Structure 1
Amino acid sequence: ADAVAELVRQRQEERDDAARASRRRRAEAAAAIRAADEAAAEERRKEEDAARRSDAELKAEAAERRSREAARAGAANLARLKDRCRKAPVRARAGGGGVKAAADERDEKRKARNGVLIRKELAYQAKIAAARPPSAASRVPTPAA
């Protein structure tokens, strides 16, 4: 009888713990929702304030934001190019060994460090863009007579 009573008491404690944890989780979720609502309300207030602000201020702010976004995009492109340059030696290594391959890999790493590949890639892309005729898609190849 004592063992059964002990077991019942243990189960009750476990249930109480689970209920407490559940209440705590619900309270945390409610707090998070409240915080999100407050943030949204704050954002709305800011937007209303911005709507009241002068047109010139808004235009200047938009231009600044656009320039920041352009800078960010440029940085992302540069990072992508750098990443490609860093991976180039690994691609070379995948092909197989030899002293020449190792030397090429060292050169590749050195060039990547110096940013040579980045500059080459940018120049190459610019060259391609410049060389592409605007009507290339519409031109039809004519059979040789």
Structure 2
Amino acid sequence: AARAARFVAHFVGNVNMFEGKVAERTDKTARITGATGAQILVENAGNAAAAGADIVFAIRPEKIKVSSKKPADGVNALEGEVYDIAYLGDMTVYHVRLDDGQLVRASALNAARITEDPLTWNDRAWVSFRPDAGVVLTR
């Protein structure tokens, strides 16, 4: 638990936190349902994340993709609106307000940005991430 606390302390202010309850558990994955009913699928949940447990999924901004279209696989794809954009040299940081109100911070290297998919303020957008892209912490 101390290691997990250090991890969070190291990234405070620069990490997205998805809070919820473990709705379903398999050997490798846990399905987490948030307070608003939004669901995400996570890996690396460890033994602490038993069904019904309150957990937090912490994920760094660079591990989150932003797109104007829903990702084809639909895994961990959450819809919202572009709230703010910051251009920081070689990186762009997007703040997307999800439909459930949560603010998600995602960053992308400008070289990797898709010019055919230019997102701007107030656009509808999808954020998505891989089930193994973050760390599961117990509350």
User: Could you state the TM-score of these two structures normalised by the residue count of structure 2?
Assistant: 0.19
More strand by share: 2
More helix by share: 1
The one of the two structures with greater contact order (alpha-carbon pairs below 8 A, sep at least 6) is 2
